[in-house]
Chain A
Amino acid sequence: MTDLDLQPLVSRAMRKDANAFSTLIERFEKSALALAYSVLHNADRAGDVVQEAFIRAWQELHKLQEPQRFAGWFMQIVRNLAIDAHRRIRPALSEYPELEGKTEMPDFAMETQEKASEIEEALTELDETTRTCVMMRYYDGKSAREIAELLQLSAPAVDMRLSRGRALLRNRLVHLLAEEVI
């Protein structure tokens, strides 16, 4: 969907057209999940934050000055809510030091659990913006230009982060890549 397709949709949603807003949810859900997951490292909490972000966007859409800026505006809501959720969870985690830095794995089969943990740890080692770029690329298939628009960065900056992120992940996961080749 191009910006030109998006603008009338956002304008309709601003006039409280629920169908238009449902289409926006479908359109931005994966990117929002990637961003929230990048901050929270927990799929369930990321899902909750995205849900809350869409409800908030629906309620505050009248505050958006220019419909063409919806993507960046909405992603900022997601990020702020994810950071808030992360802050809320940190004091609880600090009571259990053994859980600090660990990420919750979804229901992977036992044989892939270890591999999933390694990928997750490698992603955690990237800085947040690079991790978000990588997640948007690999989860939502976004181009550098699209990621740049969502995160309000320049396309070359996103390209650079994607390239750097890939290189770091490759170094970290080289043994897993070798297994895949075999």
Chain B
Amino acid sequence: MTSPEKQNLDRMLSAHLQKSLNSQRGKAKDAFQNLLRQQQQTAPKPYRKLWLWAGLPSALAASLAISITAFSLRNPGDSPTPIPSNNITAAASLTPVVDQETVTRSLDAGTGLLADDTPVKLIRQQTLQRTQWIDPSDRATYSVTQPIEKVGYVKIQPY
């Protein structure tokens, strides 16, 4: 092949392939950017995780406190009922809190005996905690009212 012929062949093949394939350039990068955007949209948002992690220990601690108090009391009639916390933690993942309202009252629940037969006066503390969330994606408002009951005691000096 002579040199001009070789150059012509090179030029012709190069031009043909550029014309055929250049329209396809950039498709892969666009698809990759779209994939990244989709992954960002579906990934859990950091503040949602934060609320989940903040809400879960609180709910567990509340349930545990109630259970321990109930166990330490002999009078089965006075045993407080643990509060199911599933729906509260689920709602907590919605985030962020826009309003929280708490109403508390204390009631005299009579007397009882601890495990070592110490007489105690029981005080039942009832709380209603209303929390409101807003979902930033669709501005929907969610609220959960959580009843909390704690039973405390004060030792009584026996006669």
Contact = CB atoms under 8 A, between A and B. Distances in A.
Interface in A8-62: 18, 21-22, 25-26, 29-30, 32-34, 37, 43-44, 46-48, 50-51, 53-55, 58
B9 A116 contact: no
A170 interface: yes
Interface string B16-60: 111111011101110111011000000000000000000000000
For the residues of B in contact with A, the DSSP-based class is helix
- Classify chain A's interface size: 35 or more
Interface in B44-80: none
B135 interface: no
Interface stretch (A79-87, A131-139, A147-155): A131-139
For the residues of A in contact with B, the DSSP-based class is helix
A169 interface: yes
A120 B10 CA distance: 14
Residue of B24, B27, B31, B32 contacting most chain A CB atoms (<10 Å): B24
Interface residues of B, number: 28
Residue of B1, B20, B35 contacting most chain A CB atoms (<10 Å): B20
B29 A138 contact: no
Contact of B12 (A106, A134, A167, A176): A176
Contacts of A34: 17, 21
Interface string A130-173: 00001100110000000000000000000000000011011001
Interface of A: 18, 21-22, 25-26, 29-30, 32-34, 37, 43-44, 46-48, 50-51, 53-55, 58, 105-106, 108, 116, 119-120, 134-135, 138-139, 166-167, 169-170, 173, 176-177, 180-181
9 contacts: A18-B32, A29-B29, A32-B28, A46-B21, A50-B24, A54-B32, A119-B13, A170-B9, A180-B12
Interface of B: 1, 4-6, 8-14, 16-21, 23-25, 27-29, 31-33, 35-36
